[in-house]
Structure 1
Amino acid sequence: MEVIYLRQSKFSDEDLRKISPILSKSMFFTMASSCKTEAQKKSMLMLEFLYLSRHKQTVRRYFGGSAAEGTAIKTSDVDKMIVGPNIYVCSEQADGEQVKGHVFLMDASDSSPGHTKLVLLKTDPNIPTVFDQGNTLYDMLEETQDGRRLLSSEKVVTFWMDFMRKRQTSTGPPETFRHGPCATTVTTDPQGYIKNEIGGVIEQDFAHGLLFCSPPSMGKDWLRNRVNFSWPSQKIVQKIMSLKCHVVAVGDKMSQHSSLEWRISYLLWERELVWSFNDIQLQCYVLLKALLKKYIDPVAPDELSSYHMKTIVFWESEDTEENCWGQEFLIPFLRNCLWRLSECVLNRSLKHFIERDKNLLLGKMCEIEIKESVLKVIKDIIPDIITYSLKCIDGIDLTTTWQKSDHNIETFLRKCLACHNSRITFDFNDSKLPVKVYHYERAYAIGVNAETVLADFSTLAQYHVSLEECDRDIEVDDKFKRSVKMFIHMRSAMILARQLLSSKNNAAASETIQKLMNFMEENSALDVISGKLYVVTCLLAFDKREEASRELQNIASSIRNASVLIYTGMCSSCEIMRPSGETLIQEKRIPPCSSSQMEFLSVAHDAIFAQEDCPVLPDALKYECMVDRAFLLHPAVYFFYLRCLCRKTQEKMEDIARLHAVVNDCNGTLHSYRSFNILGHCYFENGNFQSAFDCYATSFSQTVQSGRPNVAIYMLLVILLNIFQTQGSENLR
């Protein structure tokens, strides 16, 4: 099959450039954008920093793949590299002589490109390693006939698999198996926080990495040769020069010494390259991954991977001129990547972007039938690339519009203007700003805070110290760091509030409580609603109802002053809230907003609580603590619930009605059942057993099929018991 045959197309370059902007704009809002990737970068770097902090500045954890890039599709897993202390790898013996710790020397003399053996250069039994948990570093070594001691990649992966099997998660020990250099754990996502699917399978690949003293020779060569290309920019190259390289525990499958070999990893370099991608590069990469999963994997499973697609984008980016990154070039760029992919498959050769002697397709598609199947799929896609691309778009049905246009470009563009949201047509530029805010705020409100909520007081204190001492070491802006710090302080305050509630020294506690409430107030500017709701929660816990009422009035004033609230949480499918009288109206799409209007744009996060917060929480939330280690609450739902607790009878009924409306707006998500539980509790407390029963029944119906724990079943039994007792009393009368 000739590659030239694959270059035939139904559409001209001009046609592809006309339709590309619609595709690019749609993907910006639903799948991939540089602002989403930038926000994910901040979240990952902060999580890595906090991980290092709680491991006493010794063990590092790096995120890789789509989890770090912000390019995840539904089938994506989570890649992590764990790098322990005091073990180093050097290319030259002189490099390791000044290093304190256990040092191994590369020996790639009889290994394929990109792989190496690790020969023990020097060691010190008094310096600990991560293997000192029932094993030692010496247990990981194998001695050769010539007396050299080599670090066994096989033994290291086995160690990590045993280590992972002993870990406990909320659903028990994880299933563990080997996947290349990784110990892969398989758990379920019982609450849908990660996969957005109840019971969704979470695969986490843990690779064990060892740190290079300085980059290997191929990495140095790549850096020296960057001056001749427009991408990556010299600024990115300079950044990469400051980043480390590693080896990970996997050998060449075709090597006789595979169990003793390690693979050179440029994880930190490669993710920096992806973080530098513009919208078109990211969108092309995600489209390639989607085409791979949708069309290539079914005919040739496990032959090509997302990493291959990323490498294709790397190579094509290097050859693309600076003036070819506008939205109109998305489909032409994608087509060029598919041409390049077809040539690589035909020749079974795809060079690693950095380690350029390494062929990523070595050992792939060895059977001619499989190779021809892959080429046929690519051959089918390229001529009809518009149709195939539109089928990969999530969240916006462009395929139906394309079909109704009879595959006519001009008709399709007119129908998009008439039928689709204006943000993918003439309002795109004004729609970008609020979406950027959404991704930025969500990066720490969900990405960082959802992990921080489970930390104990000593860990939170360590976070605080590390952030104060090493502020400049985190490559995130001051606002992001400040927001994370405020949440850490708020979580510390919640723990202190629990301790004060259990204190028997009421006289001493009174002054301390006031200081605590002042501290919480100082750290409540997390957003417009949820930060203040933590303050109200503690005020009610300390029986300060009047102060709580005033705080809720202040929140209501802040809401009324904002024309639009961007909602960043997971408890509603709506993305914004608008104040309307005494309530909040939820809407699906973030509206366009010019730069001059940004001052009227505010943000609302989910409230996040841990099971340990139970003593501080109001009654409806105490029940939720029975089944969840941590949980999210929609801020509007929690706001109106707290108002109900502070109101008199008539006002309370009005707020219950407003709460009911907000709960209905939240319906349809994985977390909406909890909103119905809170509403049901309000009805129950006010003696409206029928409405309470209806709310709990609705809640239970949303979780019964998945088997998800839900206190609604318990509350239904409580209501039935109250009804029977009431009827029994009436019969006695």
Structure 2
Amino acid sequence: MYQEPNYTETVSMRLSEVLADIGVDERIVLKRRRTWLLTESLKHVNNQLWEKDKSMLYYFGSQSEGTTTIGMESDTDALYCLNDFPVIQDWCEWIHGVPNLLMIQDNFVSPGYCLLQALRHDAPLPIDNESNQYFFRDRTGKLLLKQSIISGDEYLDTLELHGPARVQPGSHGYCDTDIVAALHCKTWPQKARQWLNQQGEGQWPSPEMKQYCNRTGCFVVPVGCRWSDYRQLEWRISTSLAERCLMLNINITQIRCYVLMKMIIQSLIDPQFENVISSFMCKTILFHCIANSHFNIWRENNLLSCLLLCLNLLYNNIINENCPHFIISENNLMRGKISSVVKPYILEILNNIINSAGVALLGIKCDDLGSRLHLKFYNLCPFKTSDRISVHLLYFTAGSISNLFLLNFFTLKNKSPYEAVQTLTNSISSSVNIQYGGLPETACHLLLPMYCTTLGSVLASININQHNTISSDVFKLMSLGLNTDVASSKLKLASILYCVKEMQKSDLVLSEIERSYGLQVVEPVCGCYRFELIFERSGFFAISDKHNEDVIQYATASCVRFLPCEIHCVPIELRYEMVRSTAKDRKFRTGNDIWMDNAVVDSLPYLYFLQYKVNSHLWKNNEKQSALSKLFRTIITEPNLGHRETAFNILGKCMEQEGRVRDALQCYLLSLNLRRRNNAAKIHICTLLSVLENFRA
């Protein structure tokens, strides 16, 4: 390696190629960003459509920035903003009728932190007569808000507490989500206002970026400085929206430099000295380097030099035990983080890395980066992982949409059909208030069709119950939502037609679904709960690598959900799923089991089940047996069924219709093996045994 005349440039290019192979290139970075920012927009738009509380969830950190890899196994960082308590910095910002909080930053408060003084909601004056567990009166008489106010939030209280964050556990391929609660202040922090006027050699950030950052205001997070006498009362000032803006406006070489810094910490420092140097410190160092160096140095063929620039600044910061926050420079991120015992060892490791001229990078095991780099110098091409990343991103978007509908429809489970119609109608009408353009408009287009489908299905259930027919309004609404994905909405239409005994029409819809359901392309999607996923369809890999959320309607099939208020659109065999739980079973439910009061089935098994039932009525025996065989084969071979136990249950009902009683019983037992509790298989077994007993008698 050292013998090459253009050594730095050669290493930089090989390193850039390796990072591109593992998904750190412009295309995949943009895909990651779009996926997470769209998910954020989906949640915001959904809250607007359903007129839910004003709280908002923001995604920050490496996932939404696109600065992670598969091997880094990065958690998702989210900020849950409670908008019930506006924070102000000046009395002129006071808002009538709400509990305002005045931000206090004086000489007694740690840099980068503040206190929050409670104000009256009827006049711009301090509260002086309030006394409860959420307030503390300081020695000057000010009534200050305690951090414990956050613990009263209904959503946050369902999550596991882990330091200042709540953790939403991931499982089976999903990363954990660290959720930090916060309050929002519309104005830029006073201590950071001088940053708006600073400009380094790199002329970065640009004036336009700083103007945007200024408009975002800031958050306050219930975390105090560990050295402060006010630790339980202090709130950390967070400029996360501004920092995300900065990260979204750096080039690919700067992103790769940041990723390499995190990999070095993770692979070469954390094994001996874990959590001493954080990713946020690395990001801050990158910001300082970009701002204070000429933009021309940040090129692919100069990546190694850029990395060494950042590592040298990190080295100097550790020597001085001072890493100034990029925006609030008085806030030293390294204060108290590096003990005198570990400091010389960390400096020695960094010094060796810096002086190795890139050779130390061969020791990075994350994503096999070291091995991949070694192979590159022998002109060997390791496999790329970008298609795997694209698959997970597309599935995540589809799953997020599915999960949002589950949460929304949970609020409808105890409503009458007429109340559900009114709620859904109001939600659809609320779409006119959405600010169109960009990701919010995309989010609205993804959400509204499924609301229309559900409204149409609820209306159909009312029609069937009253007149055993369906109105033209039902067909209009159903047509608006037929292309949410490949199958689920169309299957609802076929189910409605079956329930009004329109067998020929139902058969036509089912045939169309089967024609469009490419078995090597379409991936089943279930947002009801998290289970182990296996991605192996070549067509899904190809289409997800080339497209974004626009192919959800062609490449995914969500599970089909029927609310209790849609019961007359559901075949009798599937209605048992709505009463799957005994009183004893309900005690074993968790917060992830809210789908269990609905009838829920995966699209492909339901397609073949309906084909079996429809062809039975049409006296098409060959087609009926073919559908039964496909149903059985799908249950056994499809790896990504979220409701396999339900599929076994409806297969069992088909076996009963065929007179194959033992096979039916075996299906129910297999279903119970998959889900021991909250399973309608228990009802089917009892009913079947009762019928057998009566037959013998």
Fold in common (TM above 0.5): yes
- Tell me the equivalent position of 1:4: none
Indicate the percent of aligned positions where both proteins have the same amino acid: 20
Instruction: Measure how far apart 1:659 and its partner are.
Output: 3.4
SS of 1:85 mapped into structure 2? coil
- Tell me the equivalent position of 1:151: 144
- CA RMSD of the aligned region, Å? 4.8
Which of the residues 366, 377, 388 maps onto 1:410? 377
SS of 2:498 mapped into structure 1? helix
Give the Cα separation in 1 of the matches to 2:572 and 2:248.
Answer: 45
- Tell me the equivalent position of 2:84: 85
SS of 1:659 mapped into structure 2? helix
Give the Cα separation in 2 of the matches to 1:666 and 1:42.
Answer: 29
Give the Cα separation in 2 of the matches to 1:364 and 1:572.
Answer: 38
Which of the residues 454, 469, 492 maps onto 2:433? 469
Matched, 1:510 2:469: yes
Give yes or no for contact 2:26–2:252 (8 Å, CA) kept in 1.
no
- Tell me the equivalent position of 1:581: none
> What is the identity, as a one-letter code, of the residue corresponding to 1:409?
K
Give the Cα separation in 1 of the matches to 2:158 and 2:76.
Answer: 15
Matched, 1:547 2:488: no
- Tell me the equivalent position of 1:580: none
- Tell me the equivalent position of 1:667: 639
Structure 1 stretches of 5 or more lacking a match?
1-10, 189-193, 578-585
Q: How does 1:470-619 map to 2 (within 5 A)?
A: 470-472=434-436, 475-476=438-439, 478-500=441-463, 503=465, 505-506=466-467, 510=469, 512=471, 514-559=472-517, 565=522, 573=533, 589-590=541-542, 602-609=554-561, 612=564, 615=567, 616-618=569-571
Which of the residues 143, 159, 163 maps onto 1:179? 163
Q: How does 1:92-103 map to 2 (within 5 A)?
A: 92-93=90-91, 95-96=92-93, 102=100
- Tell me the equivalent position of 1:17: 13
Instruction: Measure how far apart 1:222 and its partner are.
Output: 2.5
Give the Cα separation in 2 of the matches to 1:334 and 1:341.
Answer: 11
> What is the identity, as a one-letter code, of the residue corresponding to 1:208?
A
Instruction: Measure how far apart 1:360 and its partner are.
Output: 0.9
Structure 1 length normalisation: TM-score? 0.73
Give the Cα separation in 2 of the matches to 1:246 and 1:252.
Answer: 16
Give the Cα separation in 2 of the matches to 1:335 and 1:688.
Answer: 72
Instruction: Measure how far apart 1:523 and its partner are.
Output: 2.0
- Tell me the equivalent position of 1:104: 102
Give yes or no for contact 2:25–2:252 (8 Å, CA) kept in 1.
no
SS of 1:361 mapped into structure 2? coil
CA 1:710–1:665: 2 relative to 1, 3 Å: farther
CA 1:203–1:686: 2 relative to 1, 3 Å: same
SS of 1:259 mapped into structure 2? coil
CA 1:647–1:268: 2 relative to 1, 3 Å: same
Matched, 1:640 2:602: no
Instruction: Measure how far apart 1:47 and its partner are.
Output: 0.7
Instruction: Measure how far apart 1:315 and its partner are.
Output: 3.5
Aligned length, in residue pairs: 650
CA 1:310–1:642: 2 relative to 1, 3 Å: farther
Instruction: Measure how far apart 1:306 and its partner are.
Output: 3.7
Give the Cα separation in 1 of the matches to 2:97 and 2:158.
Answer: 36
Bigger proportion of residues as strand? 1
Structure 2 length normalisation: TM-score? 0.76
Instruction: Measure how far apart 1:515 and its partner are.
Output: 1.7
Give yes or no for contact 2:138–2:144 (8 Å, CA) kept in 1.
no
CA 1:351–1:62: 2 relative to 1, 3 Å: same
> What is the identity, as a one-letter code, of the residue corresponding to 2:615?
R
Over residues 461-500 of structure 1, what are the superposed CA-to-partner deviations in whole Å (9 max), with x where a residue is unaligned? 454343212333x751634421212122223334444545
Give yes or no for contact 1:40–1:443 (8 Å, CA) kept in 2.
no
Which of the residues 620, 627, 630 maps onto 1:655? 627
Give yes or no for contact 2:524–2:559 (8 Å, CA) kept in 1.
no
CA 1:297–1:352: 2 relative to 1, 3 Å: same
Q: How does 1:136-535 map to 2 (within 5 A)?
A: 140-147=134-141, 149-152=142-145, 155=146, 157-161=147-151, 163-164=152-153, 167=154, 174=158, 177=161, 179-180=163-164, 184=166, 195-196=171-172, 205-212=179-186, 214-225=187-198, 229=202, 231-232=204-205, 236-276=209-249, 285=258, 292=265, 296-318=269-291, 337-365=310-338, 367-375=339-347, 378=350, 383=356, 384-389=359-364, 391-393=365-367, 402=372, 407-411=374-378, 413-416=379-382, 420=383, 438=394, 442=398, 445-446=401-402, 448-456=404-412, 457=420, 460-472=424-436, 475-476=438-439, 478-500=441-463, 503=465, 505-506=466-467, 510=469, 512=471, 514-535=472-493
Of 459-468 and 224-233, deviating more is 224-233
Give the Cα separation in 2 of the matches to 1:137 and 1:280.
Answer: 54
Instruction: Measure how far apart 1:566 and its partner are.
Output: 6.8
Give the Cα separation in 1 of the matches to 2:113 and 2:185.
Answer: 15
Give the Cα separation in 2 of the matches to 1:498 and 1:487.
Answer: 16
Give the Cα separation in 2 of the matches to 1:378 and 1:538.
Answer: 67
Instruction: Measure how far apart 1:651 and its partner are.
Output: 0.9
Over residues 573-612 of structure 1, what are the superposed CA-to-partner deviations in whole Å (9 max), with x where a residue is unaligned? 56586xxxxxxxx7673269889xx999933242352664
- Tell me the equivalent position of 2:114: 116
Give the Cα separation in 1 of the matches to 2:201 and 2:524.
Answer: 45
Give yes or no for contact 1:566–1:590 (8 Å, CA) kept in 2.
no
Instruction: Measure how far apart 1:398 and its partner are.
Output: 7.2
Instruction: Measure how far apart 1:179 and its partner are.
Output: 2.6
> What is the identity, as a one-letter code, of the residue corresponding to 1:370?
V
